[in-house]
Amino acid sequence: MTGPGLRERKKQDTRTALAAATLRLAAEHGWSAVTVEQIAAEAGVSYRTFFNHFSSKEEALLQPRGAGTGRFAVLLAEQDPALPPLAAARTALRAELATLDDDREAWRQRLSVLAAEPTLLARAVEVGTANEREMAGALAQRTGQDVQRDLYPTLLAAVLGAALRVTLVRWQCAGGSPDLPDQFDEALSLLAAGLPAPSRDH
Amino acid sequence: MTGPGLRERKKQDTRTALAAATLRLAAEHGWSAVTVEQIAAEAGVSYRTFFNHFSSKEEALLQPRGAGTGRFAVLLAEQDPALPPLAAARTALRAELATLDDDREAWRQRLSVLAAEPTLLARAVEVGTANEREMAGALAQRTGQDVQRDLYPTLLAAVLGAALRVTLVRWQCAGGSPDLPDQFDEALSLLAAGLPAPSRDH
DNA sequence: TGCACAGTGTGCAACTTTGCACGGTGTGCA
DNA sequence: TGCACACCGTGCAAAGTTGCACACTGTGCA
């Protein structure tokens, strides 16, 4: 009943403080203008400690809560077993995106910072690969396959990651006008249909 | 009739020498053991010059000839206009992969180095994003769409990049036993079919 | 031929990222 | 309660990455 324990709580506090400091400073001064040293100082810890919590500056901005929280696996397991994997993943990820909506303003800021720096975008992709591994594992469990042997889970995870990335970028570029889950749904519909040639009228 | 000109030729020579030195040293001593300084020395140029040609160590290994050579655009334009985009891209990329087969040994070495270092894989993804932009542009031209406005070309390019990445990794992990183009074909077939649930028998 | 210019190669400095070693403090067990 | 252990925070050093300024040399033009 002690819960997470004092140690764990302290660690989380540090991580949260670092992530918050990163976002605040980046939003105020621009991404490249802020250094890890400043972030660490703002969070009240040492320079080196920053890299004990995040493996890169980008990760501090884009994965404030950490990657392998297993939320996707849980959400996926909750889906109706009768659903095919792609449909189940679509619903799970929509739920995940809805969660994101909780601190909508923070994410708006994050993507705004991201949009201002093209370099950041490339590195953001790297951050995403960790999530893809997690997704692949969860999908393999659902289909009863082996991540190493079978192509399907890994491919599906990679494709979902790609769709997610594209959706996020376009959502930000468009100023957030179409709802994020809707944009994601559009992409997933295209995938489910086998990426058919677009109709000529638009 | 002077061709590329002396200046351009010299530049290419330097780039080629750097890429060759990178591959040779990495294959011999391991990726993390070789430093940019050693590579530059081996190629007979200064440390700083390395980064005039490649934006990262990874790029020197994985894109020895540079990104935007436009080969994909040319190959895509050669495909039968009646083919839907996905099918045309599939054929074009297969042709590209066949080109890779020309210096099969070099690529085998590259992927071998890549497989030995998990970190490298993540960074490799970053390198791939440049190609995806090129693909998106070529695809947009084929479908008569706008890369900025329309989702389709960007999404398709991202998905193709994902499929390519997954295929390459699996091909290397499997020791290159199934032919690379065949593996890629399998992935593309799944995509074209809308990523249906895998059959339970395997 | 001679000149102005643009593109390479180079050195320097700042910053990011990572491996290693060490000290202090929760945590689990006797 | 007291002890051994594991883990977090920290400092240091080496390597990767990038912007800036400068020298040299093809290139294009008068």
SS (H, E, C) chain A: CCCCHHHHHHHHHHHHHHHHHHHHHHHHHCCCCCCHHHHHHHHCCCHHHHHHHCCCHHHHHHCCCCCCCCHHHHHHHHCCCCCCHHHHHHHHHHHHHHHHHHHHHHHHHHHHHHHHCHHHHHHHHHHHHHHHHHHHHHHHHHHCCCCCCCHHHHHHHHHHHHHHHHHHHHHHHCCCCCCHHHHHHHHHHHHHCCCCCCCCCC
Cβ <8 Å between B126 and A123: yes
Please, which residues have CB within 8 angstroms of residue B44's CB and are 6 or more apart in sequence?
Answer: B17
pLDDT of residue B1: 44
Q: What is the mean pLDDT of chain A?
A: 89
Determine whether the distance from the CB of A48 to the nearest atom of strand D is below 7 Å. Answer: yes
pLDDT above 90 for A26 = yes
pLDDT of residue B124: 82
Contacts of A85 in chain B (CB under 8 A): 195, 197
pLDDT of residue A7: 78
Confidence of residue A4 (pLDDT cuts 50, 70, 90): low
Give the residue with greater pLDDT, B161 vs B131: B161
Contacts of A162 in chain B (CB under 8 A): 155, 158-159, 161-162
> How is residue B31 annotated by DSSP?
T
Give the residue with greater pLDDT, B125 vs B137: B137
Confidence of residue A121 (pLDDT cuts 50, 70, 90): confident
Rounded to whole angstroms, the Cα distance separating A119 from A67 reads 21
> How is residue B103 annotated by DSSP?
G
> Which of A76, A86, A93, A125 is the mutation pick for testing B, counting most B CBs within 10 A?
A125
| C-alpha distance from residue A183 to each of A59, A121, B107, B150, B153 (Å) | 24, 19, 38, 12, 15
B137-163 burial code (b ≥16 CB/10 A, e <16): bbbbebbebebeebbbbbbbbbbbbbb
pLDDT above 80 for A2 = no
Rounded to whole angstroms, the Cα distance separating B167 from B162 reads 8
Please, which residues have CB within 8 angstroms of residue B175's CB and are 6 or more apart in sequence?
Answer: none
Domains observed in chain B: 6-62 (1.10.10.60), 71-192 (1.10.357.10)
Confidence of residue B11 (pLDDT cuts 50, 70, 90): very high
CA torsion sign for B18, B21, B26, B29 is: negative
CA B191 to chain centroid, in Å, comes to 20
Q: List the structure tokens of B7.
A: 């200046």
pLDDT above 50 for A1 = no
pLDDT above 70 for A146 = yes
Determine whether the distance from the CB of A202 to the nearest atom of strand D is below 7 Å. Answer: no
Query: What is the C-alpha radius of gyration for chain A, rounded to an integer number of angstroms?
Result: 18
Cβ <8 Å between B126 and A129: no
**pLDDT tens-digit map of B21-80:** 999 999 999 999 999 999 999 999 999 999 999 999 999 999 888 766 778 999 999 999
Q: What percent of chain A has pLDDT over 70?
A: 95
Mean pLDDT, to the nearest integer, of B86-93?
96
The answer for B54, left when phi > 0, alpha when psi is -120 to 50, beta otherwise, is: beta
CA B8 to chain centroid, in Å, comes to 23
A91 contacts A79 by C-beta, under 8 angstroms: yes
User: Measured between CB atoms, which of B150, B173, B190 is closest to A152?
Assistant: B190
pLDDT of residue A66: 75
Between A and B, how many CB-CB pairs are < 8 A? 116
Task: Choose the weakest-confidence range: A150-159, B17-26, B115-124, B184-193.
Answer: B115-124
Q: What is the mean pLDDT of chain B?
A: 89
Nucleotides of D under 7 A from a protein CB: 7-12, 15-20, 26-28
Confidence of residue B200 (pLDDT cuts 50, 70, 90): low
Task: Choose the weakest-confidence range: A42-56, A62-76, B5-19, B180-194.
Answer: A62-76
Which phi and psi (to 5°) does residue A147 adopt?
-60, -40
pLDDT above 90 for A34 = yes
Mean pLDDT, to the nearest integer, of A76-86?
95
Contacts of A198 in chain B (CB under 8 A): 143, 145, 150, 152
pLDDT of residue A131: 85
pLDDT of residue B116: 85
Rounded to whole angstroms, the Cα distance separating B147 from B151 reads 7
Residues in chain B: 202
Please, which residues have CB within 8 angstroms of residue A177's CB and are 6 or more apart in sequence?
Answer: none
Measured CA A9 to C1' C28 distance, in angstroms: 18
Q: Which residue of B has its CA nearest to A86?
A: B195
pLDDT above 70 for A202 = no
Mean pLDDT, to the nearest integer, of B124-132?
83
Return the closest-CA partner of residue A32 out of A53, A64, A58. Answer: A58
